Amino acid sequence: MIVILKQNSPQKKVSELIDKFHSMGVSTNVNLGHYDTVIALIGDTSKVDMDSILANEIVDTVKRVSEPYKAANRKFHSEDTIVEVGNAKIGEGYFNVIAGPCSVESEEQIIEVAEAVKKSGATLLRGGAFKPRTSPYSFQGLHGEGIRLLLEAKKATGLPIVTEIMGIEHIDLFADVDVIQVGARNMQNFQLLKELGKSDKPILLKRGLANTIEEFLMSAEYIMASGNNNVILCERGIRTFETIVRNTLDITAVPLLKKLSHLPIIIDPSHASGVAWLVEPLSKTAVAAGADGLIIEVHNNPECALCDGDQSLTPANFDKLMTNLKKRAEFEGKKM
């Protein structure tokens, strides 16, 4: 950590600050410049709070040198993490596609979609039971009944299920769910992250709309710090000035996260674009970027979907896409 002092700080104050650092168990190296004094803190600075240093009247700026996350950091865990869900292995060397409707709507719907996506090669089934919607007047999901229907679809197809949790108060309903999803709007719902850290279930953590890569990894760190290392990261588009598509897919996040962390990273091309025709090209870029998989919305009747119909593929289009993706995964030397 680097601490830059204000110009002409009184020597007495500087000495007091240095003593304070020593009392925190870090050593210091002081550099007197012509205009600025720079103090380098040496040792384990992970317990040093940048904010409280900045509050000191003689401090101008504080800059971190090392990442504030540890459990999720590849520097301290060089091997790739593989998250196992049923027979699926999610992580480096594999390419898994999670597919299913935005919302679970009926037993018939979810089983029909589950059978279709399984046949095309999906290894996990997604479906929303609790739906975060911008408007209180929009369809909010079937809740407990939705989870029950997902479990029926699992029974029928053998596919493990992935579904989103919106609050700690529902956690008992998720007892038989295979992968619990934390949505983009809850990426910094720290109470929820801590609670999920106490479980050993795989967690699919979506990046927030306007959260940095570092904040994303800090949220994974919340889950891991509580003891759960089964975290799957998911980039699903960020919010920028561009309005022609719903979000801007940050494809660079894939190689960056692979370098900074050992956790698996998948892409959600359906939410990243918000329109069905872009799912195919964005899925192709995800494979090329080195992602470990995809999560794709598929609906047996997109025009009648209760939610996100415009970004859902039909089972036929999904099948065509999967045929194409298999060749690409093979090209990259990945098992799919």
Question: Taking CB under 8 A as the rule, which mask of x and - marks residues 82-121 in contact with a copy of itself?
Answer: ----------------------------------------
Decide: is 43 part of the binding site for a copy of itself (CB under 8 A): yes
Supply the DSSP string of 286-333, one letter for each residue: HHHHT-SEEEEEB-S-GGG-SS-GGGPBPHHHHHHHHHHHHHHHHHTT
Residue 22 to residue 18: CA distance in whole angstroms: 6
Cβ at position 320, least distance to a copy of itself in Å: 16
Binding residue for a copy of itself, selected from 23, 34, 87, 333, defined by CB under 8 A = 34
Q: Are strands 59-63 and 2-5 parallel, antiparallel or unpaired?
A: antiparallel
Nearer CB in complex with a copy of itself: 28/82 = 28
> 10 Å Cβ neighbour count for 324?
14
Decide: is 12 part of the binding site for a copy of itself (CB under 8 A): no
Binding residue for a copy of itself, selected from 238, 265, 294, 329, defined by CB under 8 A = 238
Residue 200 to residue 155: CA distance in whole angstroms: 22
Which residue type occupies 57? E
Among all chains, which residue has been given the structure tokens 């619990």? 180
Among all chains, which residue has been given the structure tokens 């309903």? 173
Binding residue for a copy of itself, selected from 19, 44, 108, 145, defined by CB under 8 A = 44
Nearer CB in complex with a copy of itself: 80/250 = 250
Decide: is 9 part of the binding site for a copy of itself (CB under 8 A): no
Residue 256 to residue 74: CA distance in whole angstroms: 11
Range in contact with a copy of itself (rule: CB under 8 A) among 57-65, 106-114, 115-123, 153-161: 57-65
Cβ at position 182, least distance to a copy of itself in Å: 12
Which residue type occupies 328? R
Decide: is 296 part of the binding site for a copy of itself (CB under 8 A): no
Closest to 143 (Cα-Cα) out of 160, 131, 153, 135: 131
Nearer CB in complex with a copy of itself: 28/152 = 28
Contact 233, 83 (CB under 8 A): no
Q: Are strands 27-32 and 293-297 parallel, antiparallel or unpaired?
A: unpaired
Range in contact with a copy of itself (rule: CB under 8 A) among 44-52, 78-86, 115-123, 146-154: 44-52
Residue 296 to residue 279: CA distance in whole angstroms: 8
Decide: is 182 part of the binding site for a copy of itself (CB under 8 A): no
Decide: is 273 part of the binding site for a copy of itself (CB under 8 A): yes
Which residue type occupies 322? M
Site size toward a copy of itself, by CB under 8 A: 107
Judged by phi (left if over 0) then psi (alpha if -120 to 50, else beta), residue 263 lies in: beta
Contact 92, 82 (CB under 8 A): yes
Decide: is 173 part of the binding site for a copy of itself (CB under 8 A): no
List binders of a copy of itself among 249-268 (CB under 8 A). 249-252, 254-256, 259
Decide: is 323 part of the binding site for a copy of itself (CB under 8 A): no
Binding residue for a copy of itself, selected from 22, 84, 190, 200, defined by CB under 8 A = 190
Bridge partners (DSSP) of residue 124 are 98
Nearer CB in complex with a copy of itself: 156/278 = 278
Binding residue for a copy of itself, selected from 96, 163, 189, 229, defined by CB under 8 A = 189
Range in contact with a copy of itself (rule: CB under 8 A) among 89-97, 112-120, 149-157, 184-192: 184-192
Binding residue for a copy of itself, selected from 23, 57, 78, 79, defined by CB under 8 A = 57
- What is the DSSP secondary structure assignment for residue 281, as one 8-state letter? H
Binding residue for a copy of itself, selected from 135, 172, 175, 333, defined by CB under 8 A = 135
Q: Are strands 88-90 and 96-100 parallel, antiparallel or unpaired?
A: unpaired
Cβ at position 332, least distance to a copy of itself in Å: 9
